[in-house]
Amino acid sequence: MRHLYVHIPFCPKVCPYCSFYKEASDRNKTQAFLDAVLLELDTFGSAGIQPHTIFFGGGTPSALSTRQLDYLIRGLRDRLDLSALREWTLEMNPATVSEEKAELLLSLGVNRISMGVQAWQSDLLARLGRVHSATQALRSYQILRQAGFRRINLDLIFGIPGQTPAQWQESLLQTINLGPEHISAYCLTYEEDTEFFRQLAIGQLSQDEFQDADLFEMTMDTLTRYGYSQYEISNYALPGEECLHNLAYWSGNDYLGLGPSAFSMVSGHRWQNISNTSSYVEQIERGGNAHSFSESLSLETRLSEKIVFGLRMNQGIAEELLMPWSANVQDLEDAGYLQRRAGTISLSRSGRMVADAIGEVFV
Ligand SMILES: C[S@@+](CC[C@H](N)C(=O)[O-])C[C@H]1O[C@@H](n2cnc3c(N)ncnc32)[C@H](O)[C@@H]1O
Ligand code: SF4
């Protein structure tokens, strides 16, 4: 088990577009949640686990207080063999960054921060229901750098209702100016069970797919021009700064996920924990697991998933994996969506524009 994910389901405030499992921070629940995560880890014989990467995602891990982060991270450190650890990422919201927190995280071994900036314009931040201002995002970035974080990712979103191409260009350039090692640029998706989805359904919001495609092209052009290589559809990194945890996940490696809603994949077996913090804590405290579903993946499903995820990465996948679909591959190559290169097949630039549809061919 080389890759460990911990889901922290708390946020300072819930954003109307987001479908990750989260709830508004609740002080009464947090200690029991932290103990449950450590207890869940113990059920896997934690001493034998030697992770190469750890990823604290959410929700908002930085919504935990400095004391709570200290408790959780020390709990993990006491249990795991960290001698092979290369990357420990923690997601932060700019509203929950402090000098004290940043210094503690660094001193306990967290060596990479991923922070959700989304946009640098106050009207767009308000549209997204974010709790922080652009000034606060800038200050938080500086706090992280001054504390000594050398690897930082900033998340951005394009396709925000009301966002103009000029604003997106400005967001990209302002982000590049700060020089983070990694930039994730996501197209806004209207996820079911979100407030934005409801507003889209009743016509209060509208989506301009043609503009979204233009903004995606602008993203690829701008970021690559400044030295960020697009190693996955939505992820760009300076040389050698790719996120190792996500690369492992997209390459189909095993990973263990702790916390409510977390997925795990171990030896062809996949499960997801229940997406409810109170039920998760109760089930773990009772000594059981907290799975909401589990499945054994057939070889065909594992192959399909490897292809779908592999094609999202610019390194592509080995040509021989696509043998069963050779006719489809030829058609997609002729249409200019796929390209062959030294025994690998990857999406061309126009293929990246329709990656989801291409993925479906191989499911
Ligand atoms: C778990 S959050 C990151 C940390 C922190 N919770 C925050 O929002 O600042 C992961 C990222 O997913 C992206 N995201 C969430 N919902 C999205 C959506 N519906 N469409 C596109 N990107 C989304 C945002 O860029 C967000 O920063
Ligand atoms: S985008 Fe981040 S802060 Fe907003 S609800 Fe989702 S996880 Fe929480």
Q: Give the model confidence (pLDDT) of 56-81 as tens digits.
A: 999 999 999 999 999 999 999 999 99
| Dist CA 181 CA 151 (whole Å) | 6
**Is 359 in contact with 347 (CB distance < 8 Å)?**
no
d(CA 298, ligand 2 centre) in Å: 34
The finding on whether 61 has its CB within 6 A of some atom of ligand 1 is no
Residue 53 binned pLDDT confidence (cut-offs 50, 70, 90): very high
Strand partners, 293: 272
Map out the domains of the chain with their CATH numbers.
Answer: 3-250 (3.20.20.70), 300-361 (1.10.10)
Residue nearest to atom 25 of ligand 1 (CA): 155
- Is the per-residue pLDDT at 46 higher than 80? no
Return the ligand number nearest the Cα of 21. 2
The finding on whether 93 has its CB within 6 A of some atom of ligand 2 is yes
- Is the per-residue pLDDT at 148 higher than 80? yes
The finding on whether 91 has its CB within 6 A of some atom of ligand 1 is yes
pTM (whole model) above 0.85: yes
pLDDT over 90 percentage in the chain: 95
- Is the per-residue pLDDT at 317 higher than 80? yes
d(CA 238, ligand 1 centre) in Å: 21
Dihedral of the alpha carbons of 255, 256, 262, 267, in degrees to the nearest 10: 70
Mean pLDDT score, 260-277: 97
Element (H or E) spanning 195, and its range? helix 195-201
- Is the per-residue pLDDT at 136 higher than 90? yes
The finding on whether 116 has its CB within 6 A of some atom of ligand 2 is yes
- Is the per-residue pLDDT at 25 higher than 90? no
Contacts 24+ apart (CB under 8 A), 270-274: 270/294, 270/295, 270/296, 270/297, 271/295, 273/7
Q: Strand 317-318 and strand 344-347: pairing?
A: antiparallel
Residue 47 binned pLDDT confidence (cut-offs 50, 70, 90): confident
Residue nearest to atom 7 of ligand 2 (CA): 59
Instruction: State the pLDDT at residue 1.
Output: 85
Residue 268 binned pLDDT confidence (cut-offs 50, 70, 90): very high
Residue 45 binned pLDDT confidence (cut-offs 50, 70, 90): confident
Return the ligand number nearest the Cα of 24. 2
